[in-house]
Amino acid sequence: MAAVALHVRRWGSPGEPAPVLLVHATGDTSADWGEVATGLAHDGLVVAVDLRGHGASPWPGSYALTELADDLVVVAAGLAAEHGRPVDVVAHSLGGLVACLLASRRPDLVRRLVLEDVPVPHPREPHPPARPDGELAFDWEAVLQVRAQFDRPDPRWPQVVAAVTAPTLVVWGGPSSPMPPEHVTEMAETVADGRLVRIDAGHLVHARRPEAFAAAVRGFLALPD
């Protein structure tokens, strides 16, 4: 399936720093980044996407992670062309895996990468979720398809992660996160230039401790190249 045009939200205005591209988790939207985006926008332009099947982006019914990455490549390439430089990508959970695919395929588009509570995928026991009642801001089929790819991941994921050459900050949510700590640590150790920081907040680090998360991100993005 061809890439779809993603809905985006923008904060701030172009400045000296690279544009920051925010990528949300399964079942969230660009609005989930509001508080963090407002803080990061003091430094320059911040853009958050709705992944396909979420929010105001198209809901095409097909949600392979490679397709989500195809969509994100288009957004990153557009920002890079518009501002004459690669982008910094900050991504949570599902968004982090999509961002890894982007960074491994198109290293020319990604200057730095921040992965919030993102493990290297390993097979796990499926636990199909129950659909919430009422109208949803995302396609439930997207949740089911993404979960299936998490439960039985492509065995090439370690090679994908190893191909990420952008300096990468992995933010672990601490012991209360449901993500296996050894797999989050593996992410930081497998990318070409990774480092790990712990912020005790569970899986939703940017939502539960936005100031600490934003400080870690801003400090990392400000490091000299």
Angle (nearest 5°) at CA 212 between 209 and 216: 135
- Strand duo 46-49 + 8-11: pairing: antiparallel
Please report the pLDDT score of residue 190 as a whole number. Answer: 98
Coil, strand or helix: which one is 35? helix
For residue 113, how far is the Cα from the chain centroid? 9
Within a 10 A sphere around the Cβ of 156, how many other Cβ atoms?
A: 9
Please report the pLDDT score of residue 109 as a whole number. Answer: 98
Distance between CA 35 and CA 72 in Å, rounded? 22
60-84 pLDDT, tens digit per residue, is 999 999 999 999 999 999 999 999 9
Burial class, 92, CB count within 10 angstroms (exposed 0-12 / middle 13-18 / buried 19+): buried
Query: Which residues of the chain are under the pLDDT cut of 70?
Result: 1
Please report the pLDDT score of residue 1 as a whole number. Answer: 67
Distance between CA 217 and CA 215 in Å, rounded? 5
For residue 39, how far is the Cα from the chain centroid? 18
Please report the pLDDT score of residue 85 as a whole number. Answer: 96
**Domains of the chain by start residue, with CATH:** 8-221 (3.40.50.1820)
